[in-house]
Amino acid sequence: MSIAQAYFQKEAWFRAIHAEDAPVGFVMLYDPTLVERPDEPDFFLWRLMIDRTRQGRGYGHAAIERLVEHVRSRPGAERLLVSHVKSAERLANFYQSAGFHYTGAESDGELVMERQLK
C-alpha cells in the first residue's frame, strides 16, 4: 500500500532496505524539495518498516543513518521529523536511540520527534 501511495504523492521519496541480496524493509520520506510548493517545510519520515523476522539486527538504525545522509544532501534540510502513537514505547525507545528527541508537538494524535541535521 505504501508503494502505491508513494507513486501518487510527488513529495514521496522511497526505497527498499536490503541486507546483502535480500529485501528486509522499506523506508518512505516526505521530501519538500520534490514539489514546487510544499505543504510543510520539514522532511518527515513517513514509513520505516523492517520485516518482523529481521528486527533487532541493526537494519532500522542503518536505514535511519542512510536516510539522514540523504536528507542532509537536500537543500534547506535542517531537521528530520517522525511521529508515533503514544502507546508505542518500543518505537519511542528505538527513535530515541537513533538520535530523535521529542518536540512537544502532536500530529493527528501522535507524538512528534525530531533529529537535528546540522
Q: Is the pLDDT of residue 5 over 90?
A: no
| 94 conformational bin, left if phi > 0, alpha if psi -120 to 50, beta if neither | alpha
Q: How far is CA 54 from CA 16, 25, 60, 95, in A?
A: 14, 9, 10, 17
Domain total in the chain:
1
> Tell me, what CATH number does 81's domain have?
3.40.630.30
> For position 7, what pLDDT does the model report?
86
**Strand pairing partners for 113?**
82, 102
Domain that holds residue 65: 2-116
Taking the chain, what is the end-to-end CA distance rounded to the nearest angstrom?
33
Q: Is the pLDDT of residue 94 over 90?
A: yes
For the chain, the average pLDDT equals: 94
Whether 27 and 17 have beta carbons less than 8 Å apart is answered as yes
